[in-house]
Amino acid sequence: MSAVAPLASPVSPASPALACHVHKFGGSSLADAAHIDRLAALVPADARLRPVVVSAMAGTTNALVALGDAAAAGEDWKPGWDALRQRHLETADAFEPEAGGPLHVALEAEFAALARDLRDHASGVDPHAHDARLARIHGCGEQLSSRLVQAALGPDWRRLDAREVLVVHAAEMGAVVDWDASRARLASWRLAHGARDVVITGFVARDADGHDTTLGRNGSDYSAAIFAQLFDADALTIWTDVDGVLSADPRLVPDAVCLASMSYAEACELAYFGADVLHPQTLAPVQARGTPVRIRNSRNPAAPGTLIAMDTAPAASPVKGLSLVRDVAVLELVGNGLVGVPGMAERMFAALHGAGVSVTMISQGSSEHSICCVVRAGQATRGHDAITAAFADAIAEGQAQGVAVTRDLCVLAAVGDGMVGTQGVAARLLDGLAQARVNIRAIAQGASERNISVAIAQEDATRALRAAHAAFWLSPQTVSVGVIGPGNVGRALLTQLAEVIPALRARAGVDLRLRAVASSRRMHLSDAALDPEAAGALLDDEADACDLDAFAAHVRADHLPHAMIVDCSASDAVAARYADWLAAGIHVVTPNKHAGSGDWQRYARIAEARASGHSRFLYEATVGAGLPVIVTLRNLLDTGDTLHAIDGMLSGTLAWLFNSFDGSRPFSELVREARALGYTEPDPRDDLSGLDVARKLVILAREAGRPLSLADVDVESLVPEALREVPLDVFLARLSELDAPMQARLDAARADGCGLRHIARLGAGSDASVGVRALPADHACMHTRLTDNLVQFTTARYAENPLVVQGPGAGPQVTAAGVFGDVLAIAHALGARTGWRHA
Ligand code: ADP
Ligand code: ASP
Ligand code: MG
């Protein structure tokens, strides 16, 4: 058994531990001179022999394919050829500054040969040489890059043109290596050139007749594995631009995680089902020898990468990865007469095989009423015709109805050795897809149980992949969060989130991801989770204009299981969106009183939307800030108690004013002081009008099931009629006009042994009022401090001695804490998942 490749260390061991360690660099690791220059540091001196297999510089093969197509179509290929030449010569300048050096000369010779091939290709010279010429055009990038890499690695390195060694022949599943011939040629090559470190061209080969060919797109991974086998390597490292094999394509699933290890079979299955990171044929040659393969990131060599080997450590999840095969179609042979007839499947697949159609997935109902299989879209018609012909007699006799073709599909595959003997894997996959409302056209589980595949509509592909990924990799309590209105409360909430989110994730599995913030004018949307503390600063002039539809669509991300919008604005326009958001399945949390106390019809729509979207709407902080007022009322009612009355002090500002107003200072002076302390709104009339308190009373009344609206509340305004419409400065200048009437009320109350408090009251039915009341000294409201709120619930159970909730009921910190409490109540209720059960 071979040793496992150690992580590349920049320090060379004194004597190499391995006989041979093959490295492969993909195009992404050869993007420019700076990248190529870094290769030497990535190839440690841990082995006596270090064959380095290279792909073409990033984008080169695509450009060459386009050049070949252009030439064949009689189009002008010269500008493209020139651009490619320019790019390679400029890259060479970094390694050979003097013009006319051997590197530049060699590259120019390659470009001259390429130009010749393109010219011949355009004129169709020697059609028999067509395929080999095209292979030469496509494979030219590796000739170029290998020269650049050789120059970067230094004069001790030889260059091996794989076409001189590698002999392959084409087969249905791709190129097959002629091992004996290839071994013999490598032996002669080494005899001629010595056993030295070599740079090898990936992707290219020749057939037994000496015609140039390639191993297919992305084939240099396969080249590397073949050379690992030919050199009897102890280790193969494939360098790319991601940290290893990820749980899904990171371009489609932003949350994909890097896998520490996987078996050859798992890697093979993932590659076959479309994971670009590895060519599907790569694993066969290394698996034969048990050579460990490590996938690593040349841009982040500190990352350990993914180890692919025979036996790997068991993983937490039975599913290792998810991938997609696009552009497939389902062929379905339907027929009642097929039930119980032996050999139906055999006949169908023989027909497909005969027509050269390869089958990606097969599924058959146990009733045998229909047999369906998934084939590549380009082969669907051919497959349809072949099956139709094979069953012509059955169709003519009415035993079979015919062959149905469903196009525009893709296959999503979940892969992992651990599925064997783990219960509930398919259930979780299907449940995740169902939650994302993805319709499944066909489903198959391989007999190996290493793979469960489903065919779905192509347009659902990304959404399905993300939903399936969330089902296996994310905590079910993962919530995509958007915060609107970072004013005082919003900012305090963001700070509290920043402090608590890491501990919540670690301790409770609650994964709150702040992915969007907005003010009334600006918004910032992010795929990655934002640092809540820094998020407010993102709403500067550079930020996008606020668009609440785009905001909500972003928060409701397909790849995260849940979504929540926290509205910390005081905007009626934002409240007008709640119903739509809730219906779309977005939870809403807010300290904004507009929805709870606004138009009754809108309130009713919100209740309906909440039910249809299975979403929750919590607004504890609208009354008493962080105090548990609404939840207490809810609990009383939910446990069957009957509400008789609610009364209390619902405004911190007015509480402070009447706690302080003892006649020693005029009322207006206290209003000015409260304003200076920030206890009042900028315009104190907003507090003195009693309207804000009335809104809170409406919210409580509705919570108790009473269809109350603001107009139904008898509100006493403390602002004299004459001052209600005047500008703020005029109001402030004439504030002392409040003093005499208020002093008179205090004197009258005192004469009766009472004091003054600002009280909201909900009695029976629609009896609801807000205003200043004279209360006896033993009333609970006479024993409050500073900005304390106090709510008294008189119920059937709490009849003699009401239930009282009391404490500070204003201020950004406690209000934000009330909002946060609602956020957590929702997250906790999402419910944790139980672990995997093994059979
Ligand atoms: P190279 O040029 O190094 O051969 P490729 O572009 O061929 O690189 O393959 C690496 C890319 O494969 C990654 O950048 C990533 O976008 C894509 N990819 C798709 N599926 C996966 C997966 N499951 N794990 C890692 N990468 C993947
Ligand atoms: N350069 C070839 C391609 O782009 C081979 C490879 O990159 O693996 O397909
Ligand atoms: Mg590749």
Tens of pLDDT along 817-837? Answer: 999 999 999 999 987 777 777
pLDDT at residue 7 greater than cutoff 60: no
Q: Are 579 and 605 in contact (CB under 8 A)?
A: yes
Q: How high is the pLDDT of residue 387?
A: 95
Q: How high is the pLDDT of residue 591?
A: 95
Label residues 265-276 b or e (16+ Cβ within 10 Å = b): bbbbbbbbbbbe
pLDDT at residue 409 greater than cutoff 80: yes
The two three-digit tokens of residue 55, written as one number:
């792909």
Residue 644 has φ and ψ, to the nearest 5°, of -100, -45
pLDDT at residue 283 greater than cutoff 50: yes
Top mutation candidate among 55, 227, 238, 277 for ligand 2, by most atoms within 8 Å of CB: 55
Query: If you measure from the C-alpha of residue 719 to the centroid of ligand 2, how many angstroms do you get, rounded to a whole number?
Result: 78
Q: How high is the pLDDT of residue 11?
A: 42
pLDDT in tens, 91-141: 999 999 987 899 999 999 999 999 999 999 999 888 779 999 999 999 999
Confidence of residue 1 (pLDDT cuts 50, 70, 90): very low
Tell me the average pLDDT across 554-579: 93
| Among the ranges given (64-78, 717-731, 824-838), the one the predictor scored with the smallest mean pLDDT | 824-838
* Spatial distance between the Cα atoms of 735 and 729, rounded to a whole number of angstroms: 10
pLDDT in tens, 484-511: 987 889 999 999 999 999 999 888 789 9
Residue nearest to atom 2 of ligand 2 (CA): 218
Tell me the average pLDDT across 356-365: 82
Rg of the chain over all Cα atoms, to the nearest angstrom:
37
Top mutation candidate among 30, 60, 203 for ligand 2, by most atoms within 8 Å of CB: 203
Label residues 279-298 b or e (16+ Cβ within 10 Å = b): bbbbbbbbbebebbbbbbbb
* Spatial distance between the Cα atoms of 459 and 182, rounded to a whole number of angstroms: 45
Q: Tell me which ligand sits closest to the C-alpha of residue 28.
A: 1
Q: How many CB atoms lie within 10 A of CB 33?
A: 17
Q: What is the pTM of this model?
A: 0.77
Tell me the average pLDDT across 12-40: 89
Beta strands 168-171 and 174-177, pairing class: antiparallel
Tell me the average pLDDT across 360-365: 78
Q: Which residue out of 24, 320, 593, 696 is catalytically annotated? A: 696
Tell me the average pLDDT across 792-816: 93
pLDDT in tens, 417-467: 888 778 889 899 998 898 888 999 889 886 567 889 999 999 999 999 999
User: What's the whole-number average pLDDT of the chain?
Assistant: 92
Mark whether 696 is an active-site residue. yes
Q: How high is the pLDDT of residue 10?
A: 41
pLDDT at residue 791 greater than cutoff 90: yes
Element (H, E) at 642: none
Q: Tell me which ligand sits closest to the C-alpha of residue 30.
A: 1
Instruction: Give the residues surrounding ligand 2 with Cβ less than 6 Å away.
Output: 26-27, 55-56, 61, 141, 202-203, 217-221
Q: For residue 244, what is the DSSP state?
A: S
pLDDT at residue 275 greater than cutoff 80: yes
Query: If you measure from the C-alpha of residue 221 to the centroid of ligand 1, how many angstroms do you get, rounded to a whole number?
Result: 11
Q: Are 186 and 22 in contact (CB under 8 A)?
A: no
450 vs 218 pLDDT, higher one: 218
pLDDT at residue 366 greater than cutoff 80: no
Nearest-atom number in ligand 1 for the CA of 220 is 4
Query: If you measure from the C-alpha of residue 219 to the centroid of ligand 2, how many angstroms do you get, rounded to a whole number?
Result: 6
CA neighbor of 223 nearest in space, from 263, 152, 175: 175
Q: How high is the pLDDT of residue 447?
A: 57
Tell me the average pLDDT across 297-326: 90
Contacts of 567 (CB under 8 A, 6+ apart): 484, 485, 574, 575, 578, 588, 589, 590, 592
Q: How high is the pLDDT of residue 163?
A: 98
Top mutation candidate among 146, 204, 218, 241 for ligand 2, by most atoms within 8 Å of CB: 218
Query: If you measure from the C-alpha of residue 28 to the centroid of ligand 2, how many angstroms do you get, rounded to a whole number?
Result: 10
Q: Are 456 and 439 in contact (CB under 8 A)?
A: yes
pLDDT at residue 305 greater than cutoff 70: yes
Q: Are 644 and 764 in contact (CB under 8 A)?
A: yes
* Spatial distance between the Cα atoms of 718 and 741, rounded to a whole number of angstroms: 10
